[in-house]
Structure 1
Amino acid sequence: MSSTSKVFKYVNVLMLALITLAICYTSLQSMRANAWYFNAKNTLQEITGNNIDIQQLNLADDAISLASSLDPAHPHYLQLMAHVKLLKLAVSTNQPDDLAASYQQIEQLLLKSVALRETWSETWIALAKVVSYQNGPTDRVYDYIQQAKLVGPYKIEVHLGAIEIALMNWQQLPPKYKALYVNELKLAAKHGHKFSRAFDIAKQVDALPILCLSFKFGVHFEPVRNSWMFKKQCK
């Protein structure tokens, strides 16, 4: 074998070794990121009801931040990071000095997530809610809701998200939002016991009377009026 052939052979072996090392490193990083992701999810699952522990949320935030730093282009990690940060804002007694900047950070995480995975309706409706918290029922929020409906037309999370946005902004709700609200109520009511979450959301945003009044008219809401959840919540 000539010296030139030997050089080529050694170069090929070296290149193969480097490629193998790169693949192993990438796989290891992905495994570590996945482990931290499930660490964050499991921590969140331990939080129940209204007794949300800020220390647990901080642990979940640290875990998902590590996961995202190891795999920054993973849309699941970006969405969960946004969700955790939003929960922290909701339960924190000490709001950050610049609340708008915190919401914008969450918005950017969700925008990155939908850019990487456009077909996840939960991310689109989460984005709609976060923008509505900042700016109210704008055209951009409406467009995000429509995008969520496009990729997840039968998802209860989409229906409930649109209902929440409408109830939170009821006093300044444009006509197209009111039509959307009624339509989403009809669709959400078809989900059986899962629809009870609509009453929880209405109570959280101090709009239960509005929700109850919405069901008192129309033949399509007669099953709701006869349901146990309506009789319990709308006395």
Structure 2
Amino acid sequence: MTNKVLNALANNSALLKWIVFLLAAFGFVWSMQLFIAGNAYYSVKNSIEVWQLSPDKASTQKVNSALDKIDNALNYFPNNALFYQIQGQLFEWKAITEANTKNTDSPTTDLTNKVFNLQEAAKSYEKSLKLRPNWSGSWIGLASVKRQQGELDDEFYSYLESANRAGPQDAILHKFIVDFGLQVFSARSFHYVKIKERLKHHLNLGIENPLSRDFVLKTIQKHNANEAVCRWLRDASYPVKKRIPNCITYN
């Protein structure tokens, strides 16, 4: 074998080693980015779940910290629909926490901040839906923004319908319908008439689903609706009814 052939083989071997090295380096960097982004997502998701059960534990400082984590995750994966969906939830929580600590010197500033945060939330949900149109959480997010804006119009109900088509069994849908439905029921709002059948349906599914059960049961307690819910779910299964206080008697 001539020196020319040997040199060519050596060069090819060196090139192959460099390709393998670069692929390994790329894989390592990608894995690290995925690890960091995944940790950020689950950390923020856990925080939101805690705030949903105990809203007093949320604060603007905590929300801003969570937004920084999701922003970092989106820097690595800018086409992730789930990250945009949870970013939208954080902007909604920021609107809530800032409203709870109003700037009494400037109510105009308070209103401006709320409008801005809700607009940012809607933008995040819309980005999520562009990437994944059949994501129930983002449709619920748009409905939630309308609710915070006090706009319970046809568009609001169309978002609920889209969420139901996308994920009829999703915990986030059960939570929202139960929270909204029991609020308008307690307030004796005419919106209860529009939501009552969905409310009964998602109360049942929400208690069945372990991912929404605690939230649903706590919401029932918050509105002192045990008796009404028990009546609505008279045809539900025993495991569902037994979780509602005083719904099952043995007399």
TM-score normalized by structure 2?
0.65
- For residues 171 and 36 of structure 2, the distance between their equivalents in structure 1, rounded to whole angstroms, comes to 29
User: Of residues 230, 234, 237 in structure 2, which corresponds to 1:215?
Assistant: 230
1:41 aligns with 2:42: yes
- For residues 124 and 72 of structure 1, the distance between their equivalents in structure 2, rounded to whole angstroms, comes to 20
1:183 aligns with 2:201: yes
Decide which structure has the larger Cα Rg and report it. Answer: 2
Structure 1 position 71, deviation (Å): 4.0
Gaps in structure 1 of 5+ consecutive residues: 1-20
User: Of residues 137, 158, 174 in structure 1, which corresponds to 2:152?
Assistant: 137
Aligned to 1:172: 190
Aligned to 1:15: none
CA contact (8 A) 2:200 2:233 kept: no
Q: Write the deviation string for residues 54-76 of structure 1: whole angstroms up to 9, x where unpaired.
A: 43332211121233345433212
Structure 1 position 141, deviation (Å): 1.9
- For residues 142 and 226 of structure 2, the distance between their equivalents in structure 1, rounded to whole angstroms, comes to 23
**Root-mean-square deviation (CA), in Å?**
3.6
CA contact (8 A) 1:33 1:66 kept: no
- For residues 78 and 210 of structure 2, the distance between their equivalents in structure 1, rounded to whole angstroms, comes to 38
Aligned to 1:13: none
Aligned to 2:7: none
- For residues 216 and 161 of structure 2, the distance between their equivalents in structure 1, rounded to whole angstroms, comes to 19
Structure 1 position 124, deviation (Å): 1.9
Residues 13-52 of structure 1: matches in 2 within 5 Å? 32=33, 35-36=36-37, 38-42=39-43, 45=46, 48=50, 50=54, 51-52=57-58
> Match of 1:209, SS?
coil
CA contact (8 A) 1:41 1:60 kept: no
Aligned to 1:198: 216
Q: How has the CA–CA distance of structure 1 residues 31 and 86 changed in structure 2, closer, same or farther, with 3 Å as cutoff?
A: farther
CA contact (8 A) 1:128 1:144 kept: yes
Q: How has the CA–CA distance of structure 1 residues 84 and 34 changed in structure 2, closer, same or farther, with 3 Å as cutoff?
A: farther
TM-score normalized by structure 1?
0.69
Aligned to 1:114: 129
Q: Write the deviation string for residues 86-114 of structure 1: whole angstroms up to 9, x where unpaired.
A: 22333343354322232122112111111
1:123 aligns with 2:123: no
CA contact (8 A) 1:44 1:60 kept: no
> Match of 2:197, SS?
helix
CA contact (8 A) 2:171 2:209 kept: yes
Structure 1 position 148, deviation (Å): 1.6
CA contact (8 A) 1:124 1:145 kept: yes
Gaps in structure 2 of 5+ consecutive residues: 1-21, 103-109
Aligned to 1:9: none
CA contact (8 A) 1:68 1:77 kept: yes
Corresponding letter in the other structure for 1:197: F
Aligned residues: 207
